[in-house]
Amino acid sequence: MESSNQTVFVTEFILLGLSAHPKLEKMFFVLILLMYLVILLGNGVLILVTILDSRLHTPMYFFLGNLSFLDICYTTSSVPLILDSFLTPRKTIPFSACAMQMFLSFAMGATECVLLGMMAFDRYVAICNPLRYPVVMSKAAYVPMAASSWAAGSAASMVQTSLAMKLPFCGNNIINHSTCEILAILKLACADISINVISMGVTNVIFLGVPVLFIFVSYVFILTTILRIPSAEGRKKAFSTCSAHLAVVVIFYGTILFMYGKPKSKDPLGADKQDVSDKLTSLFYGVVTPMLNPIIYSLRNKDVKAAVRNLVAQKCFTQ
């Protein structure tokens, strides 16, 4: 039979997710829903205080507001789909909706990588060149820096999504994942994906490798400068200004390395267990990091804590 007769245009995808484990679906529906509500509340409060409190109108908190908005967008692009799949027997998603979800998730992930690098540069200038900080990190500088992060992430996602969705799928539309994750989509293609693989490799170097290297070098200079401060109180105060960002970076990149760096099991039984483990890891990666970000910045930053207290006090007073 000729290949042209075998070609079937895919109009929708089926998301397997945790369909083989219905008990897990019920349990994780409640857990993921609660975590999603915490994400919306925590990041929403952070956005509010960075806008309403004039003391937080600085580059660091401008980037933090962007990070919080990004986390809300990232989780909203996938969590409602995941929650719906937990409750729906037939877990289908239209081709166009899958492409949109893939674009948004990839764009938000790539943007966060660049944004964390921008935030590292902000901390580097603040600690290593404090006298030049108002000039280097002026509004004319930090607003375009944040905008370029969003533009770069969106452009990279547009390229990867377009390349992936142009591939022929030959009727194979079952995605072994909870969302339209790009690597899971590429596995369904019935054509050569070498261009996609090369493009993904280049994108990973640009959006993962370069920011990680930039953050690492920035913190080498930051730690060197902090250790030169004569007083213990001065060192503590300097480190406290970047400890929250460093914690977020470690959690963000540490989770990525755990997800994609662990070895694959060759045993069939072990492979099945690992498949469930990979799905759960991916599931929690999409909600744990966005949930922890506002908690970390609230606990580690006295300015944010003071702003949140003032916001709560004003709310109670008006009532």
Residue showing tokens 């920035």:
218
**Is the pLDDT reported for residue 261 higher than 70?**
no
**Is the pLDDT reported for residue 124 higher than 90?**
yes
**Dihedrals φ, ψ of 176, to 5°?**
-85, 65
Mean predicted confidence (pLDDT) in 274-300: 76
pLDDT digits (tens, 9 = 90+) for 18-66: 766 777 778 888 999 999 999 999 999 899 988 988 888 999 999 999 9
Q: What percent of the chain has pLDDT over 90?
A: 41
Number of domains in the chain: 1
CB 66 within 8 A of CB 115: yes
Q: What is the pLDDT of residue 52?
A: 87
Q: What is the pLDDT of residue 8?
A: 54
Q: For residue 138, is it within any domain?
A: yes
Q: For residue 5, is it within any domain?
A: no
Q: For residue 6, is it within any domain?
A: no
Q: For residue 268, is it within any domain?
A: no
Q: For residue 310, is it within any domain?
A: yes
pTM: 0.86
Mean predicted confidence (pLDDT) in 270-292: 70
pLDDT digits (tens, 9 = 90+) for 192-250: 899 999 999 999 999 989 999 999 999 999 999 999 988 888 888 888 888 888 888 98
Provide the 10 A C-beta neighbour count for residue 4: 6
Q: For residue 265, is it within any domain?
A: no
pLDDT band at 87 (very low <50, low <70, confident <90, very high): confident
Provide the 10 A C-beta neighbour count for residue 14: 15
Amino acid identity at 271: A
277 versus 96: the higher-pLDDT residue is 96
Q: For residue 250, is it within any domain?
A: yes
pLDDT digits (tens, 9 = 90+) for 303-315: 777 777 776 676 6
Please state, rounded to an integer, the average pLDDT across all residues of the chain. 84
**Is the pLDDT reported for residue 163 higher than 80?**
yes
Three-state helix/strand/coil letters over the chain: CCHHHHCCCCCEEEECCCCCCHHHHHHHHHHHHHHHHHHHHHHHHHHHHHHHCHHHCCHHHHHHHHHHHHHHHHHHCCHHHHHHHHHCCCCEEEHHHHHHHHHHHHHHHHHHHHHHHHHHHHHHHHHHCHHHHHHHCCHHHHHHHHHHHHHHHHHHHHHHHHHHHCCCCCCCCEECCCCCCHHHHHCCCCCCCHHHHHHHHHHHHHHHHHHHHHHHHHHHHHHHHHHCCCCHHHHHHHHHHHHHHHHHHHHHHHHHHHHHHCCCCCCHHHHHHHHHHHHHHHHHHHHHHHHHHHHHHHHHCHHHHHHHHHHHHHHHHHC
Task: Answer positive or negative: Cα dihedral of 314, 291, 59, 223.
Answer: positive
Q: What is the CATH number of the domain that holds 20?
A: 1.20.1070.10
Q: What whole-number distance in Å separates Cα of residue 20 and Cα of residue 22?
A: 6
Q: What percent of the chain has pLDDT over 70?
A: 86
Q: What is the pLDDT of residue 25?
A: 78
Q: What is the pLDDT of residue 244?
A: 85
Q: What is the pLDDT of residue 168?
A: 87
Q: What is the pLDDT of residue 269?
A: 42
Quote the domain boundaries for residue 127: 12-259+275-317
Q: Alpha carbon 36 to chain centroid distance?
A: 14
